[in-house]
Amino acid sequence: DVGFFVLNKSVLKYAPDYNFNFEKEILPKLVAKKELAGYLTDHRYYSIGSPDRLSLTAEFLSGKKVILLDRDGVINKKASKADYVKTWGEFEFLPGSVEAIKLLTDGGYEIYIITNQPGIARGMMTREALDEINGKMKEELAKNGAEIRGIYQCLHGWDEGCDCRKPKPGLLYETAFEHNFDVTKAIFIGDDERDLQAGEAAGCRTILLAPGQTLLDVAKSLVRA
């Protein structure tokens, strides 16, 4: 429960000369004199409870341009059904995806990857192999002027009941919290119905790649907009 008071300084005459609770001490007196009014609003509330939060709030409201990307099927070729990209040798960039990420980077977007990787929970790959894939993917992208700011991944199985596996929006919220941006202003690009559901649950604009559509097609349209 949060709110603001807009007060006339004359209200201070009701204040006692000791530490007190404003709502309990002052508001009843104003109500009794019919000097209090209020209204409800559905406008979002941004807290600046201390001076050190001022810069964080300014950053949050700065209008960052943020792209959230699914990985498999958007950046790289998907493995066959019931299989996963388990090693760097199995990783294959989709046509145009490197160029697309460079285009978005040059367009001033912060880019983060949001991906389910249940192959670890199923014992089909190791965390070390996944880290190697992600590291080498970022290296290859960086060589081409394409920057990934962070990779957020769910390593759980589908039946573990976690909050991070898409279609739940947990990873999107985590990314927004750690990098201080408004998730409702971000754009999430995926290729699966779970991506669409996660993006809609988080309240962000979500683009689902149509059959035959590439990340480069979407990137070009976003940069032109």
Measured between alpha carbons, how far is 205 from 36 in angstroms, rounded to an integer? 41
Residue of 1, 42, 72, 217 with catalytic role: 72
For residues 169 and 149, give the distance between their C-alpha atoms in angstroms, rounded to a whole number. 19
Domain 60-224, CATH homologous superfamily name and number: HAD superfamily/HAD-like (3.40.50.1000)
Q: Are 48 and 90 in contact (CB under 8 A)?
A: no
Residues 6+ apart with CB under 8 A from 137: 75, 76, 91, 148
Tens of pLDDT, residue by residue, the chain (225 residues)? 567 788 899 998 989 999 999 889 999 999 999 999 988 877 777 777 788 888 888 878 888 999 999 999 999 999 998 899 999 999 999 999 999 999 999 999 999 999 999 999 999 999 999 999 999 999 999 999 999 999 999 999 988 999 999 999 999 999 999 999 999 999 999 999 999 999 999 999 999 999 999 999 999 999 997
**Rounded CA separation 86/125 (Å):** 6
Residues of the chain with CATH 3.40.50.1000: 60-224
Cα–Cα distance measured from residue 70 to residue 91, given in angstroms and rounded to the nearest whole number: 15
- Residue 1: active-site member: no
Show the CA angle centred on residue 108, arms to residues 102 and 111, nearest 5°: 65
Question: What is the identity of the amino acid at 122?
Answer: R
Angle at 133 between CA 129 and CA 134, to 5 degrees: 120
The catalytic residue among 1, 70, 182, 195 is 70
Active site residue 70: yes
